[in-house]
Chains A and B, each alone.
Chain A
Amino acid sequence: MLRYIFIRILSMIPILLGVSILVFATFHLVPGDVVDIMMGDEVAGDPKALMELRKDLNLDKPVYVQYLYWLRDAIQGDLGKSFTSGKPVMSQILERLPVNIELMVIAIGFVILIGIPLGMLSAYKQFSFLDGIVRVTTIMGYSIPNFWLATIVVLVGSLYFRWLPVLQYVPFSENPWGNIKCMIIPGFVLGLTTLSYIVRMTRSSVLDTLRQDYVRTARAKGMTERVVLFIHVLKNSLIPVITVLGIEVGVLIGGLVLTEEVFVLPGVGRLILLAIEQRDFMIVTGAILFIAWVFVVINLIVDILYAFLDPRITY
């Protein structure tokens, strides 16, 4: 097992490098270099000073050397400084990260607490009225864009309930209850697409498991239906669900940008959007590299979890 984990971690390294190369290369598609962008439309002053600045930022070196410098800094947690505010990109990300983590936890919480039981129930009562409703609503669920749902929630909330928690974000440390009140609905909206998908996955996975011989054996041994369902079926049908959940984290991360934007929450997504508007590519690339790296690590954890759950995987 340890060996498997070790190999998985090693195999992650080329992906992390590849991700950084792609981000760096994209950054270099921007016309002009960092100094040009920093200067913006201002008439460039002293060419000598500009040369100095370029030298300081290693811009006089070949591209691959620049990449190596950039990578070295990134590994050490230095993603450069914002063009506009001059603040380190990393600290700006870390400042806003709690919002994203909280939204993700709420969304995934809903997915697991509602999605998996609902999927099981729907499978267990296949072809029932409930199953029909679940199947139709989940197809709808993953066809609804979350930014639309978010907009409608804000609209209905403000028009009919005079409920506008969103425009005043409260940090958890200041007012935990107020914070949860303003995060719970955005979290749910964020999770809805994934929730629908997980319900369907769980349903089909449970249906598959119910047909397995070992389930028949367990029943034949005289085990109660509850034991069969929760011990034999649930555990085995969760394996594919976990894989999908790992992939869905990527969808949720994308959804974060939209959810934050509509609910006006100060997360990393809005940091990126604002930076794009201001053409502050240091923040854009830094934040995207950061998120992509985190995503790779999450996938690694899911893979390892998967190996723990499924003894058929050899390592």
Chain B
Amino acid sequence: MGENRGNGEILSPSKLAWRGFKRHKLGIIGSVMVIVLILVSLFSHVIAPYSPLAMNPKDSLSAPCGKYWLGTDRFGRDQLSRLIYGTRISMGVSFGAIAIAIVFGVMIGLVSGYYGGLLDNIIMRLLDILFAFPILLLALMLVAVLGPSLENLTLTIGFLYHSRFARVVRGSVLSIKEKEFIEGARSVGARDISIILFFILPNVLSPVIVQATFNLSTAIMVEAALSFLGLGTQPPTPSWGLMMSESRRFMEMAPWLAVFPGLAIIFAVLGFNLMGDALRDALDPRLSQR
């Protein structure tokens, strides 16, 4: 990716990134999937044909048909509507968790990387402890102790993921703070806080965005896994993972109950992964996987 394309046109970094992104066909597909997910979760109440909680005992365990496109569960609740509302839960938890992770992670990473020294050392060793756990197990333990609920799930995932952002940001800060423009800012008397906020922060945003996209996909997976194990969303709230686990008892009678929530999870995770791949290639050419 040269900055000068030979025809004399000079491209700004953001234009360059956009060009790189556009070239990535799978990335475009991924972004469309993500946009669909966001729209579905924002407008669940408009799109869903039925209420996700409305029970119709007469139509219990109905196979996919004209009335219920994706069939019904054992209470006769419409699966399509539950999946649509489940998008809201899944997106809500993962966006909420990643937002928490970004706020704390970026703050910690900036301070740790900028000031360095003993403080940096202590912070990094503390984060090492979090990295020493298999992530799902730590989540399991925390949720088990805090009690299963949507809020606790979001907080737990946020807490677990902040360390990843902290590491990424710290790494970028270490290289950026040696650049001339930081020295320049310092020489004209800028205070630390304004150097961090106005000179360093904008430059660490692209790795943060890439990291966030990938972590959104794993957060969706963790949410689904914990709900599947009965430690996340509680019934009757429609969550993809929970729907999967509820389906297991009726699997042979009603296989559609096991299939579709899984496809929803795959759709979401795939969307964020594809988008993340393209974003990484566009924003951070050094990291690109050929």
Contact = CB atoms under 8 A, between A and B. Distances in A.
Interface in A6-51: 14-15, 18-19, 21-23, 26-27, 29-30
B217 A257 contact: no
Main secondary structure of the interface of B (DSSP, over half): helix
A284 B144 contact: yes
B76 interface: no
Interface string A208-250: 1000000000000000000000000000000000000000011
Contacts of A21: 129
B252 A288 contact: no
B266 A254 contact: no
Interface stretch (A57-65, A66-74, A138-146, A174-182): A138-146
Contacts of B136: 251, 253-255, 257-258
Interface stretch (B52-60, B107-115, B255-263): B255-263
B289 to A, nearest CB: 4
Given A139-B274, A151-B248, A200-B289, A292 B229 contact: no
A18 B132 contact: yes
A139 B130 CA distance: 27
A253 B139 CA distance: 13
Interface stretch (B11-19, B180-188, B194-202, B220-228): B220-228
Interface string B119-163: 000000110111011111110111011100000000000000000
A165 to B, nearest CB: 16
Given A145-B269, A292-B138, 7 more contacts: A15-B129, A22-B129, A143-B217, A144-B269, A254-B135, A261-B229, A284-B144
**Interface size class, chain A:** 35 or more
B273 A155 contact: no
Given A204-B289, A254-B136, A285-B141, A143 B244 contact: no
8 contacts: A15-B125, A15-B129, A140-B266, A145-B225, A145-B266, A253-B137, A277-B230, A292-B134
Contacts of B142: 26
A15 B273 contact: no
A295 B274 CA distance: 30
B191 interface: no
A148 B247 CA distance: 11
Contact of A151 (B125, B145, B231, B251): B251
A154 interface: yes
Contact of B255 (A23, A155, A272, A273): A155
Main secondary structure of the interface of A (DSSP, over half): helix
Contacts of B126: 18
B270 interface: yes
A261 B229 CA distance: 8
B115 to A, nearest CB: 21
Contact of B141 (A23, A151, A159, A258): A23
Given A139-B270, A143-B217, A253-B137, A276 B132 contact: no
Contacts of A276: 140, 144, 231
B125 A14 contact: yes
A250 B139 CA distance: 13
A281 interface: yes
A132 B269 CA distance: 20
A242 B239 CA distance: 36
Interface string A290-314: 0110011001000000000000000
